[in-house]
Amino acid sequence: MTTPQEMLIGEARARFGDKAVVTETADIEPWLTDWRGRWHGSSAAILQPQSTQEASLIVAKAAELGVALVPQGGNTSMVGGATPPEDGSALILSLRRMNRIREIDQGTMRAVTEAGVVLQALHEAAADEGLRFPLTLGAKGSATIGGLISTNAGGTQVLKFGTMRGLVDGLEAVLPDGTVHDGLSGLKKDNRGYSLDQLMIGAEGTLGIVTAARLKLFPAVSSRAVAWLGVDSPQAALNILRNLQQATDRIEGFEILPQESLEAVLGHVSGARAPLSGNFPWQVLVEATVEDPDDEPPAELLARLLAPLIERGEIADATISSSEAQAEAFWRIRDSLSEAERATFGPATQHDISVPVDAMPRFMEQAAAEVSRALPGVHASGFGHLGDGNIHFHVRAGTRGGPDWLQTEGPIVSRLVNDLVTAAGGSISAEHGIGQMKRDELQRLAPERVKAMRAIKSALDPQGLMNPGKLV
Amino acid sequence: MTTPQEMLIGEARARFGDKAVVTETADIEPWLTDWRGRWHGSSAAILQPQSTQEASLIVAKAAELGVALVPQGGNTSMVGGATPPEDGSALILSLRRMNRIREIDQGTMRAVTEAGVVLQALHEAAADEGLRFPLTLGAKGSATIGGLISTNAGGTQVLKFGTMRGLVDGLEAVLPDGTVHDGLSGLKKDNRGYSLDQLMIGAEGTLGIVTAARLKLFPAVSSRAVAWLGVDSPQAALNILRNLQQATDRIEGFEILPQESLEAVLGHVSGARAPLSGNFPWQVLVEATVEDPDDEPPAELLARLLAPLIERGEIADATISSSEAQAEAFWRIRDSLSEAERATFGPATQHDISVPVDAMPRFMEQAAAEVSRALPGVHASGFGHLGDGNIHFHVRAGTRGGPDWLQTEGPIVSRLVNDLVTAAGGSISAEHGIGQMKRDELQRLAPERVKAMRAIKSALDPQGLMNPGKLV
C-alpha cells in the first residue's frame, strides 16, 4: 500500500525531477537535528521546490493528501523551530533551491529575494550596488531570508534599523491550501484590510511558507568605528547610550557583557586580546557608522561624544578602534561569547528575554539576585543588546552542579526566569522565537495570546499541516 | 419581551451609569450617517465606555447576547466604515469618552493615548513637550487615534513618516470575546508569534476594538517652507521628487494637482490666490522641514536644490513661501481641492488608488485615456500624493452627464478604474480602506485575499458581531 507521504514524494519527483526530492538517509540526516543538537526529528524526505509555483503545487498536494510539512532554510533556529517531529509524520520542505536574488533596485532601494537566499549572499549583492541590507547576526553564512522573516530575526543592528519586521516591504507566501499570496507589489500605500504580510512575519512557518520578499536597503556604510568601554553597571551603560543617542543617529550597535564573559573569551579564543588594560565590572561595545565620506569620521565622532562622559567619570576607561581590523577584533569578542562561556563554565540555561529598555538594568540586577536566592550556588548573568532591552540571560550550575544539572534543575530555572520576565512586563522570547523550546511556557504564561493565535492558525491551516508542534 | 439589544443597553446603564449610554434619537442621529452623507444606518443606542475595562465588559456581554457592535471614533470614514447597518441590528460603540493621553515620554519619544483622542489633541499635547506626531490629514479635528489605526490612515506626511502602521509601537484592543490584548508594553523586541498588534491595524474594527496605542513621536519641527512649482507632466514632477530625495531627507510633502483643480479652488475659496502668475498643466506643492534651528533654513534648502532644475527647464516656474502664513495658504489650496472640485464641476466618481510610485505618471495618463475611450465625454484626472504612488482619481460626467450620472454610469466607471489599477499591480484602496463602499469590488478583484481574511475573521469573531458588513 502506498502511504500519503509516498504519494507526495512520488508526485514531486514525477513533476519536478530528482533534484526536487531527497530520500537518501545520509543526505537527510544533517537536517533532522537543530544546529545546537538539542532536538532530533525524523523525516522520510526533503522536498526542494525551485520556484514559487513548484512550492505552491507541493503545498496544495500535501493539503490534499494530509501530509504535514516542516519548512527549512539554513536550519539555524535556536528554539528547534525547523526540526521535524520525532514520529516521522512530516516531510521537510527546504527552500534552499529558491536562492535567486530577483532584483536589486538602486532607485527605490529595494531587493526582491527568494526565501532560500543566504543572508551573507544578500549582503554581498547589495554591497555590489553600493547598498546595504543592515540586519546581521552570527549565523549570517547559513541563515536564509525566509527563515529570518519567519522568525522576525533581530541581531546586532536592531538599535538603529529594527528587526526583520521593519525591513520587510512585502512578501510572497504559499498559504496552507496552496494559494500564493503575492505581497511583492512594492506599493507604498495599500489599505485592503488585514496585512497578510505582517501576519506571516514571525509566524515560524505555521501559517504557510514564505517564498520571497521585498526588502528595504540602505546606503552602504563608508566607514565605521567601534569603541570599547569599561563601566560600573548596566545602568551606567544605558546612561551612556542615551547620551550618545541624543547627540547623533549614527550609533548602530550597543552591546554589554560582564568582565567574566570577556575573560572566558580571552581564555578560549586564540589570539583574542583584552581591549582595555584594566578590569571593569561591565564592558560595553559601541559601534558608529557613517555613509557619507564627507561626514565626521566615526572614530572622531565617538571620541568627541565619549570625552565628556570619561571626564565626568561615567566611563571608567575607553578605547576606540583605529582600524577596520581592530573593529573586527572587538566584534569577534562579542560574537565568541556564547561559545567561550559554554567551553569555560560548562552548560547554562539560556534565556533570550526582553523588558522595556529603561527597565533592563534593574531587571538584570534583580533577576540575578532572585535566581541566586531561589537556588543558592548558581551563577546568573546577562549580556547582549542592552539598547534594545534584550539580553541573553544565562544561569549556570555554579556550586550546585553535576553534569546532569541542566536536566534536573534547568526547567525550574527557566520557569523562574520566565516568571520574573513576565512580572516585569517583558517577553520570554525577544528574538529567537518560540519553536518547540518555549511552546509550553508560552501557553502557561500567555494563555489568551495563545488562544487567539490558535484560532488564527486553525482558520488558515485547519488540518494543522504547517510546521506541526511549533509555536502554537 | 426584552430583546438582546435592550438587555445590553440596560446592563451598560446599570453598570456604568447614564453617561455610558445614549438612546435619545436626536443624539444618535448625527452618528447614523457618514460625513459625506452617502450611507445611512440605524441603531437603538450608542454605548460609550470610559475605560478599557468597561469596553471589555460591554464586548463580552455583547458576545454573550449575540449583539453586533459598530465601533466609532470621529465618524470621518470615506468608505462608510463606521456607519451602522440599515436594519438596526447593531449598536454603536463609541470610543469618544476614552480620550485620555495616558503618557508622553520625552526619553523614549512615545505617547500612549486612548482610542478616542482626537488627532489634533495629540498634535498639541506632543508640541507642548517639544515633540511631534507627524501623521496629519484634513479631518484632524475630528478623526481619532482608534479610527486612524483601524484604517491604517495615510495623509500628507506619509512620504517621510509612512502610514499609521509604521507609527504604532504597540496597541491595546478588546477582542471579540471581550479578552483584552495588551500590546502596550513598549518592548523593542518581542517574538512571541503572530503580531496581534499588526493584525488589528487596518482591520476596520472587524476583529475587535482598538482601545489604546503606544505611538512614535519625533522631534518638533523648528521651521518649514513650502514651494509651489509649475511643471509639464506628472513624470516631470516625479523626476523633481527623485532629485530632491537624493539630496536631502527633509522633504515631507509632495503633492500634485492639475491646473483646472487649482482654478476650481481659486474660484471657490474666498481669498485664495494663485501661487504662480502663469498657467502650467500641473502644479506641485513641496514641503521641507528642519528640526534643528542651526541647520540650513528650509526655504534656503529648497531654493538651493530647485535652482538647477529651473535652470535645466525641468521646472517651468517656482515660488517658495516666505512666511508661515504663506506656507499655510499653499496647503489650504491643496486641502480645499476636493470640496472646490465638487462645487465647481459637480459630482465625480472618486478613486483612492495606488500603484508603484514610478509607475504612477504613466498610469495617470493611460487611465485617463482609457476611461475617455470607454465613455467618451467624461473627464478624468488625478491629484494627490504622487510621492507615495497614491492619487485620488476623479471621473466626472463631462458632456455625458445629467444629475443622475453618478448613479447610472458611476458603477461602470468605478469597475473600469479598479480593473485598470489591478492590471497595473495596484490597490483599489490606498489609504481610505474598504468599508462598505469597496467591499464587493475587493471580493471581485481579490477573492483569494478575501478568502484568507474571512477565515481569520471567522476565527476571531465566529458570530460576526464586530462591525458587520464592512471589509470582509
Whole-angstrom distance, CA of residue B16 vs CA of residue B11: 8
Q: Which of residues 116-145 of B touch A (CB under 8 A)?
A: none
Contacts of B469 in chain A (CB under 8 A): none
A100-124 burial string, b = 16+ CB within 10 Å, else e? ebeebeeebbbbbbbbbbbbebbbe
DSSP A274-306: -SSSS--SEEEEEEEEESSTTSPPHHHHHHHHH
ipTM of the prediction: 0.94
Whole-angstrom distance, CA of residue A450 vs CA of residue A342: 33
Q: Assign B35 a pLDDT band (cuts: 50, 70, 90).
A: confident
B291 contact A CB<8A: no
Alpha carbon B271 to its chain's center: 27
| DSSP secondary structure code for residue A149 in this structure | H
Among B175, B355, B472, the residue with its CB nearest the CB of A193 is B472
**Whose grid coordinates read 489599477?**
B421
DSSP A44-89: S-EE--SSHHHHHHHHHHHHHHT-EEEEESS---SSSTTPPPTTS-
pTM of this prediction?
Answer: 0.95
* Mean per-residue pLDDT of chain B: 96
Å between A135 CA and nearest CA of chain B: 14
What pLDDT tens digit does each residue of chain A (472 aa) get? 799 999 999 999 999 999 999 999 999 999 999 988 899 999 999 999 999 999 999 999 999 999 999 999 999 999 999 999 999 999 999 999 999 999 999 988 999 999 999 999 999 999 999 999 999 998 999 999 999 999 999 998 999 999 999 999 999 999 999 999 999 998 999 999 999 999 999 999 999 999 999 999 999 999 999 999 999 999 999 999 999 998 998 999 999 999 999 999 999 999 999 999 999 999 999 999 999 888 999 999 999 999 999 999 999 999 999 999 999 999 999 989 988 998 998 889 999 999 999 999 999 999 999 999 999 999 999 999 999 999 999 999 989 878 899 999 999 999 999 999 999 999 999 999 999 999 999 999 999 999 999 999 999 999 999 999 999 9
Contacts of A165 in chain B (CB under 8 A): 195, 198
Contacts of B384 in chain A (CB under 8 A): none
Inter-chain touch A190–B448, beta carbons under 8 Å: no
Among B179, B207, B431, the residue with its CB nearest the CB of A448 is B179
Residue of higher predicted confidence among B353 and A347: B353
**Whose grid coordinates read 532644475?**
B309
The set of long-range contacts for A423-426, using a CB threshold of 8 Å and a minimum separation of 24, is A424/A355, A424/A359, A424/A363, A425/A355, A425/A356, A425/A359, A425/B185, A425/B187, A426/A353, A426/A354, A426/A355, A426/A356, A426/A359, A426/A363, A426/A389, A426/B185, A426/B187
C-alpha cell recorded at residue A404 = 546532569
Whole-angstrom distance, CA of residue B199 vs CA of residue A149: 16
Question: CA torsion sign, B254 to B259 to B264 to B266?
Answer: positive
For A131, phi then psi, to 5°, come to -120, 180
Among A107, A158, A179, the residue with its CB nearest the CB of B189 is A158
Give residue A443's identity as a one-letter amino acid code: Q
